[in-house]
Structure 1
Amino acid sequence: MTGIATLAIAYVLSQFYRSFMAVLTPALTAELGATKAHLSLASGVFFLTFALAQFAIGVSLDRVGPRRTASALLMLGGGGGAILFAAASTPWMVIVAMALIGIGCAPVLMSSLFIFARVFSLARFSVLASWMVAFGTAGNVIGAAPLAQAAEAFGWRPVMAGLALVTIMVALAILVLVRDPQSPPGMDQGAVGFDGYRELLRMRVLWPIIPLTAINYAPTTGIRGLWSGPYLVDVYGADALMIGQVTLFMALAMVAGAFIYGPLDTIFRTRKWVAVAGNTIGLLAILYLAVDVFADVAAVTAIFVIIGLTGGSYGLLMAHARAFFPAHLVGRGVTLMNFFSIGGVGAMQFATGAVVTASVVPGEPTAAYSALFWFYVAMLGAAIVIYLWARDAKPQPAAA
């Protein structure tokens, strides 16, 4: 359990690193000359390198185990990237730093899910995965008002240097405390190496699940981690503290949402329809912003909370896909689906940056953000429609 606890702390850092830049928007713009395009690219490359690393991580989990995989990448990528971020003097150094941090954070949650899949029953996987995500989402909370206050008091560079040290210490703790689970006795190894991914991609049962896995998290993390800052600055003239306060409520909602999703498949005896209902509510919340992009701050905060609550279906969708994985491909299976999840977020970061840039109207700050929210509505709506064709994987009662 100490190993799982250490991975949970590492996942808090992972969640922090994917969302903290929204609060630092004013400082990065003023000190480094970072534009919206720079910030969008920096956020996008985090998710891009995170996603591309999944393939090698999946093979490494099945062959080497989570202990060495997670500790090495978190120390070198996460710790090294945070040091570079703290020393950045140009926007491009921030972009490179975020690419390194993405690689460093890439194996953390997957190592936890690999252990859950090997040690615990399938019936418990959804709850464990959702609750790990919920605990880790506390990183979003730290990256909101607390980060804003710390940066105000000490400066953002010392804060980032301190986080680099914490990241390295957590990586060392993983190396010492995590224990690799044993493979099931007599398990058929089947496809080896990267061939395992081809075997998984030939499974048509996964195809309708993939689009919603790729899109469901993108509006939540995109708004929380990237666009909330520029949106609040451009439309409401917000400072870092106001951004931190608004995003704090959204971050808390993301924590609560992941916890709430955890047992719902067991309660309602369906994974598919819980995911459909939750994501549809989130879609309607984003639609509200698309229609009324200049709503007052209180209304915007409430909508952000709803988006945060409903955007936590990651663990549920992973459990839905996990129900169809062969035993010998668990590591590659969870990393493949995570590739689509994180890759979808990264692609959407790049795409939304292009949408906002193309939709700017001088003197009319709401135009770009209206286009942004309509884009999220279209993409999430399409993914939900495709997911309707998915085969349900109804949870079985947990073994006594």
Structure 2
Amino acid sequence: MKTGLFLLSLAYILSQFYRAFLAVMTDVLGTDIGAAPDDLAMASGLWFLSFAAMQIPVGWALDTLGPRRTASSLLLIGGAGGALVFALASTPAHINIAMLLIGIGCSPVLMASFFVFARIYSAAMFATLASFMIGVGSFGNLAGSVPLAMAVDAFGWRETVMVLAAVTGIIAIGLFFVIEDPERIESSEGGSVLTLLKMPALWLIFPLMFVNYAPAGALRGLWIGPYVSDVFGGSAGTASLVMACAMIAGTFVYGPLDRIFGTRKWVAFGGNVIGAMFCIALGLGFATGYWEAVLLFAAVGFFGMSFPLLMAHGRAFVPAHLAGRGVTLMNLFGIGGVGLMQMISGRMHATLSVSAAAPAEPYHAIFLFLGVLVIIGLAIYAFCQDRLD
């Protein structure tokens, strides 16, 4: 299982890379195939939405087929196949198809890891293990910044993505041979996703789950590059790298805090309040220079990484025999929210850019929108029940 988890962590590094790499490739894709920022917002949104749509079938597959077949087959067909389509793209529509396929391919990777954690380790350790996996995977964010920009400059974007397709395929095949499926739990209680949807406790967590990762995911994956370039004339790669590092640090910091403070709810609540305030500060134009903007983006990334803590909070209410469906249902809300906000923010930028008096105005509207959404999610989450086991 250690080897299996190692390969799953490599696969999750790829998943994090694929969800964030468009921000750095905006210029080359615009020049070569005419992809505008709103086109890439649509493509990025399709990655998240296809990823989210797969969570229900992935949850069923994890509980019934196990993580070995589920993760390896989808990553091979969707992940490697989608990357190949991307490398051969000649229009923005091809990028949309590619990102949709890659989202499907990446959809089981993290949840397969969470399924193993939920079945093998104690509930008290879930948040720490989940944070560690996300923290390791977040190195894909790093790879999707300056290293990607350097590879594209040196070899070309098509060649770079072609190599990524091959690497994705090799890892997918490896997963089939090394993952060990945990013993299946048979329960007379039965149950399905509908069983989980009938639990009132989860409905107070879902709204924050839906919006908490949207600012960090949308800003790092799409808007940080165009914003710092258009508004300050600064390096998109450097800004993306700094924000990616902050997100990795935030993930590792959040991990043990529930056990240190004896609460999951209030750690997640406090962190999201701070993250939302930094996002709103960006929207109000508090950044007057390149590095001020980069530091604000980094703060949004750091405090916006409560995803594993919220996942652990929701998982604590889910019966063991529905662990696969439970973690994927939570993930559906988390990733689906990012995908929807990517698409909405893309339309906002396209619409507001027509009448904007300054290049920063459309971006500021997007940042304010995302920050306010988190505040709304927090207002509902404040009434949920805290649980550690």
Normalised by the length of structure 1, the TM-score is: 0.95
Task: Tell me the equivalent position of 2:104.
Answer: 103
Check the 8 A contact 1:212/1:384 in 2, yes or no.
yes
C-alpha separation in 2, matches of 1:151 and 1:131 = 29
- 1:104 CA displacement: 0.1
Task: Tell me the equivalent position of 1:308.
Answer: 301
Task: Tell me the equivalent position of 1:389.
Answer: 383
C-alpha separation in 1, matches of 2:250 and 2:107 = 22
Written as runs of structure 1 = structure 2, the 5 A alignment for 1:60-79 is 60-79=61-80
- 1:363 CA displacement: 4.9
Task: Tell me the equivalent position of 1:188.
Answer: 188
Letter in 2 for 1:190: G
Letter in 2 for 1:314: F
- 1:352 CA displacement: 1.0
- 1:115 CA displacement: 0.5
Letter in 2 for 1:188: S
Check the 8 A contact 1:221/1:345 in 2, yes or no.
yes
- 1:198 CA displacement: 0.8
Check the 8 A contact 1:289/1:295 in 2, yes or no.
no
1:183-215 residue CA offsets vs partner (Å, 9 max, x unmatched): 34x633512xxxx11110000010110011111
Written as runs of structure 1 = structure 2, the 5 A alignment for 1:205-216 is 205-216=201-212
C-alpha separation in 1, matches of 2:367 and 2:109 = 30
The unaligned stretches of length 5 or more in structure 1 are: none
Task: Tell me the equivalent position of 2:252.
Answer: 259
- 1:232 CA displacement: 1.8
Check the 8 A contact 1:23/1:229 in 2, yes or no.
yes
Give RMSD over aligned pairs: 1.1
Local SS of the residue matching 2:182: coil
Local SS of the residue matching 2:188: coil
Segment of structure 1 superposing worse, 72-81 or 304-313: 304-313
Letter in 2 for 1:383: G
Local SS of the residue matching 1:299: helix
C-alpha separation in 1, matches of 2:129 and 2:287 = 39
Task: Tell me the equivalent position of 1:375.
Answer: 369
C-alpha separation in 1, matches of 2:102 and 2:219 = 20
Task: Tell me the equivalent position of 2:239.
Answer: 246
C-alpha separation in 2, matches of 1:374 and 1:304 = 13
- 1:358 CA displacement: 2.4
- 1:359 CA displacement: 1.9
1:71-112 residue CA offsets vs partner (Å, 9 max, x unmatched): 000000000000010111111001100000000000000000
Matched, 1:230 2:222: no
Check the 8 A contact 1:188/1:328 in 2, yes or no.
no
1:313-348 residue CA offsets vs partner (Å, 9 max, x unmatched): 111001000110012211101100100011001111
Which among 283, 290, 293 is matched to residue 297 of structure 1?
290
1:232-274 residue CA offsets vs partner (Å, 9 max, x unmatched): 2221234xxx111111011011111111100000000000000
- 1:362 CA displacement: 4.6
C-alpha separation in 2, matches of 1:363 and 1:205 = 46
Letter in 1 for 2:386: D
Task: Tell me the equivalent position of 2:166.
Answer: 165
The unaligned stretches of length 5 or more in structure 2 are: none
Written as runs of structure 1 = structure 2, the 5 A alignment for 1:54-65 is 54-65=55-66
C-alpha separation in 1, matches of 2:286 and 2:162 = 37
C-alpha separation in 2, matches of 1:28 and 1:352 = 19
Task: Tell me the equivalent position of 2:327.
Answer: 334
Check the 8 A contact 1:187/1:327 in 2, yes or no.
no
1:115-134 residue CA offsets vs partner (Å, 9 max, x unmatched): 00000010111100111011
Check the 8 A contact 1:17/1:101 in 2, yes or no.
yes
C-alpha separation in 2, matches of 1:32 and 1:391 = 50
Task: Tell me the equivalent position of 1:22.
Answer: 23
Q: Provide the identity percentage.
A: 48
Normalised by the length of structure 2, the TM-score is: 0.98
C-alpha separation in 2, matches of 1:252 and 1:234 = 23
Task: Tell me the equivalent position of 2:198.
Answer: 202
Alpha carbons of structure 1 residues 67 and 152: separation in structure 2 relative to 1, 3 Å = same
Matched, 1:276 2:286: no
Local SS of the residue matching 2:256: helix
Structure 1 stretches of 4+ moved >4 Å: none
Q: How many residues align?
A: 387
C-alpha separation in 1, matches of 2:221 and 2:184 = 37
Local SS of the residue matching 1:359: helix
Check the 8 A contact 2:80/2:165 in 1, yes or no.
yes
Check the 8 A contact 1:118/1:183 in 2, yes or no.
no
Matched, 1:10 2:4: no
Letter in 2 for 1:271: R
Letter in 2 for 1:342: I
- 1:295 CA displacement: 2.0
Check the 8 A contact 2:264/2:309 in 1, yes or no.
yes
Local SS of the residue matching 1:18: helix
Check the 8 A contact 2:59/2:326 in 1, yes or no.
yes
- 1:231 CA displacement: 1.1
Letter in 1 for 2:202: L
C-alpha separation in 1, matches of 2:256 and 2:184 = 27
